[in-house]
């Protein structure tokens, strides 16, 4: 998938005028937009309830290199390595300023400055370092501590807890001070300087991270260990296309920024604070949804990551498990049983949405969370997540909530969910949102299934409500109205009813699927959030109309701002920045749309299709039942290679797998290292011992 220009390097000679679209650097623990004076730490919020937001942490690396000499400027974000570099070139010297959030040691941010002389000279070369850093924050009461080795030190706590009586997070910051200038002496041909920031929740952790950085810097391994961690991530998975450079770069950018929002695959600290729509680099007071975690994480970002990285998928689920107490409190305050996950979540799981109506009515979040757990089980068969990992408490708590929230009506002998807000937030206080009811139905059915697997006595009401929950359907027009009382043709904000087909997988005929797509595509707000068109594209790909899907995917490119592939929520550049939700939807359109991947109970189904103009799609590292599969889709065939097993098999024992073709029923065992070439037809991957018949309906 190579081209003359490396698609993994985003380059420009001029920075975007809108500084919001400078590249964010993050590692799941720390997040920062380059040159900005503020960074954020995962799980560190300030403010109570609806005022809760990511706490501003001052960033000592908010430094710009300046020189009185004329220089040529260039900027590169190398997504191979997660390093942003500004290069200044003159006749005499090249100056490189490199910045990165350490991918392995997640408490570290690093700046390196390299001066390289082009020709011998008796004159020193000096560059100025213009810093915007001040060791203060409006959210954290910092006080200075004694210097630690070669570093400065401040520490403090946020001013206001997330809820009354709750803890105020602590922040400890140690950094190597940045001088006002750097000088390359006459006798030096080159010189490199390194500057470190260690941020943690205790002084001991900050000191240990700072010590580790100093040791690695002394051996020349600080940057190397960071780049090796990124290399390990990219070796596990890649999504690339040939035939469209812009699409290839967009996919790479989406994968890079999404992976940046997740912790290291080696992280065992259980400090991951979830993924917010704008990622860790954004989310301060009044900005980018305050850094809260929404359904965006579970429905939009999670699926593509879970397909490749089961450890990162589990980190998302463990975040939800840690918020169980808050979810229980939310349900009790609403007068219901079980768990009510917050529409907007921070650390505790208590509702922190600034406007009550969303937390009260946008209850589909419960089903969205449950669906993420369900897909994880189907992809991994990792039962430990549901036993000692307490995932079963999530699933059963959600089921209890639905049962207590549903209302029985004798007239149609169905259960109903009344007074809700659908994903389409243009409407509220409506009855029987079709998406909400469908996702509730599936989470109740999954609760019964999981209870059977764990020999847990499931209440009869779980099955009763799940089987009899009303799913709105218009018999005359043969489509799913968005809710009871929806008038066909009314404007909608975003993807809603079209998500019944994917990701929910509600059984329906091709005619109904088409009718749903056509009913909503023309009335969806063109300035709605970026993830919407990916769902429509997947629908048209399901129906075998790739060119129609391609038109919708091309709409997404309007949300990609500037040279660094940073997304905005809306196509006019407004809304949340570094909009990971949109990136997740776009990735799913390709990874699940072009391949036809569907994560089902007993198999991974596929139904590949490529639009004109796309020569090939390479999807490497699909992780299914402990095996990694590399896929190459071409116009006429599909090639699958199961990788040789490594010593680290992950959390489950790998299974022997086979391909089963739908049309012929042919079964082809997968042997590690041996490619299998198939016609461009539907099929599925399953265990060799599986006797189930597994198809998306």
Contacts 24+ apart (CB under 8 A), 140-143: 140/46, 140/55, 140/56, 140/57, 140/171, 142/58, 142/171, 142/173
**3-state SS, one letter per residue, for 502-527:** CCCCCCCCHHHHHHHHHHHHCCECCC
Edge-to-edge strand order for the sheet containing 152-158?
A: 9-12, 72-78, 83-89, 93-101, 108-117, 190-200, 170-175, 152-158, 140-144
Which tokens hold the place of 399?
Answer: 């089921």
Distance CA 208, CA 621 (A): 34
Strand partners, 195: 111
State how far Cα 558 lies from the chain centre.
Answer: 20
Q: Residue 289: how many CA atoms within 13 Å on its side-chain side?
A: 27
Distance CA 578, CA 275 (A): 12
Q: Is 410 exposed, middle or buried (0-12, 13-18, 19+ CB in 10 A)?
A: exposed
Tell me the angle at which helices 434-453 and 391-405 cross, rounded to the nearest 10 degrees: 130
Tell me the angle at which helices 434-453 and 460-467 cross, rounded to the nearest 10 degrees: 150
Q: Which of 48, 318, 381, 425 is catalytic?
A: 425
Pairing of strands 57-58, 53-54: unpaired
Q: Where are the beta strands (DSSP E) in 243-346?
A: none
Count other Cβ atoms within 10 Å, centred on residue 680. 14
DSSP state of 593: I
Which of 482, 440, 446 is closest to 465 using CA atoms? 440
**Cα dist from 118 to 95, 104, 122, 267, whole Å:** 11, 34, 13, 42
Question: Is residue 425 annotated as a catalytic residue, yes or no?
Answer: yes
Do residues 154 and 219 make contact, with C-beta atoms less than 8 angstroms apart?
no
| Span between the terminal Cα atoms of the chain, in Å | 34
Distance CA 560, CA 519 (A): 27
Contacts 24+ apart (CB under 8 A), 124-127: 124/183, 124/184, 124/185, 124/186, 125/92, 125/93, 125/183, 125/184, 126/67, 126/181, 126/182, 126/183, 126/184, 127/65, 127/66, 127/67, 127/88, 127/95, 127/181, 127/182
Which residues are designated catalytic?
425
């Amino acid at each position: 998938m190579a081209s003359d220009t490396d698609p993994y390097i985003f380059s420009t000679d001029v920075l975007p005028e809108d500084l919001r679209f400078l590249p964010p650097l993050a590692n799941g623990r720390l997040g920062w937009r380059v040159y900005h004076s503020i960074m954020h730490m995962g799980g560190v919020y300030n403010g109570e309830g609806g005022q809760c937001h990511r706490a501003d942490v001052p960033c000592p690396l908010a430094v710009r290199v300046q020189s009185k000499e004329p220089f040529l400027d260039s900027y590169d974000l190398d997504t191979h390595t997660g390093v942003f570099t500004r290069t200044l070139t003159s006749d005499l010297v090249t100056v490189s300023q490199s910045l990165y959030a350490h991918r392995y040691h997640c408490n570290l941010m690093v700046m390196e400055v390299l001066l390289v002389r082009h020709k011998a000279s008796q004159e020193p070369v000096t560059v100025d370092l213009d810093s915007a850093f001040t060791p203060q924050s409006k959210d954290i009461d910092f006080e200075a501590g004694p210097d630690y080795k070669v570093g400065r030190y401040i520490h403090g706590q946020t001013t206001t807890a997330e809820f009354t009586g709750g803890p105020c997070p602590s922040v400890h910051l140690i950094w190597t001070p940045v001088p006002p200038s750097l000088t390359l002496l006459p006798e030096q041909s080159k010189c490199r300087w390194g500057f470190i920031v260690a941020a943690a929740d205790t002084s001991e952790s900050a000191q240990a991270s700072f010590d580790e950085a100093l040791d690695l810097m002394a051996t020349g391994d600080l940057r190397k260990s960071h780049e090796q961690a990124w290399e390990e991530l990219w070796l596990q998975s890649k999504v690339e296309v040939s035939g469209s450079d812009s699409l290839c770069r967009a996919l790479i950018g989406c994968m890079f920024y999404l992976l940046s929002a997740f912790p290291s695959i080696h992280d065992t600290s259980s400090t991951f604070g979830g993924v917010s729509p704008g990622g860790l680099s954004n989310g301060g007071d009044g900005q980018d949804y305050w850094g809260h975690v929404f359904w965006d994480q579970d429905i939009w970002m999670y699926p593509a990551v879970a397909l490749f990285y089961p450890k990162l998928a589990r980190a998302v689920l463990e975040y939800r498990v840690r918020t169980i107490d808050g979810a229980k409190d939310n349900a009790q305050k609403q007068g219901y049983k079980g768990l009510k996950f917050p529409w907007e979540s921070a650390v505790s799981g208590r509702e922190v949405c600034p406007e009550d109506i969303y937390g009260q009515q946008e209850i589909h979040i419960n089903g969205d969370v449950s669906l993420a757990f369900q897909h994880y089980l189907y992809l991994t068969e990792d039962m430990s997540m549901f036993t000692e990992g307490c995932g079963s408490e999530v699933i059963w708590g959600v089921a209890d909530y639905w049962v207590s929230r549903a209302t029985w009506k004798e007239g149609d002998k169905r259960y109903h969910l009344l007074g809700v807000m659908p994903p389409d937030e243009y409407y509220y206080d409506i009855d029987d949102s079709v998406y909400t009811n469908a996702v509730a139905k599936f989470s109740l059915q999954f609760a019964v299934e999981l209870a059977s697997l764990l020999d847990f006595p499931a209440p009869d009401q779980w099955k009763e409500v799940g089987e009899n929950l009303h799913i709105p359907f218009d018999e005359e027009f043969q489509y799913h109205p968005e809710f009871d009382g929806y008038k066909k043709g009314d404007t909608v904000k975003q993807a809603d009813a079209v998500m019944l087909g994917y990701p929910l997988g509600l059984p329906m005929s091709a005619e109904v699927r088409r009718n749903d797509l056509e009913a909503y595509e023309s009335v969806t707000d063109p300035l709605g959030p970026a993830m919407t068109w990916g769902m429509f594209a997947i629908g048209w790909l399901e129906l075998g109309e790739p060119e129609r899907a391609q038109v919708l995917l091309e709409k997404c490119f309007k949300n990609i701002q500037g040279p660094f592939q940073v997304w905005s929520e809306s196509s006019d550049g407004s809304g949340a920045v570094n909009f990971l939700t949109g990136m997740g939807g776009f990735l799913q359109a390709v990874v699940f749309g072009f391949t036809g991947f569907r994560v089902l109970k007993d198999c991974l189904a596929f139904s590949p299709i490529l639009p004109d103009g796309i020569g090939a799609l390479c999807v490497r590292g699909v992780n299914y039942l402990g095996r990694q599969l590399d896929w190459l889709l071409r116009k006429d065939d599909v090639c699958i290679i199961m990788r040789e097993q490594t010593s680290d098999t992950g959390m489950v024992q790998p299974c022997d797998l086979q391909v089963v073709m739908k049309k012929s029923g042919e079964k082809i065992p997968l042997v590690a290292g041996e490619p299998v070439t198939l016609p461009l037809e539907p099929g599925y991957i399953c265990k060799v011992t599986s006797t189930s018949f597994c198809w998306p309906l």
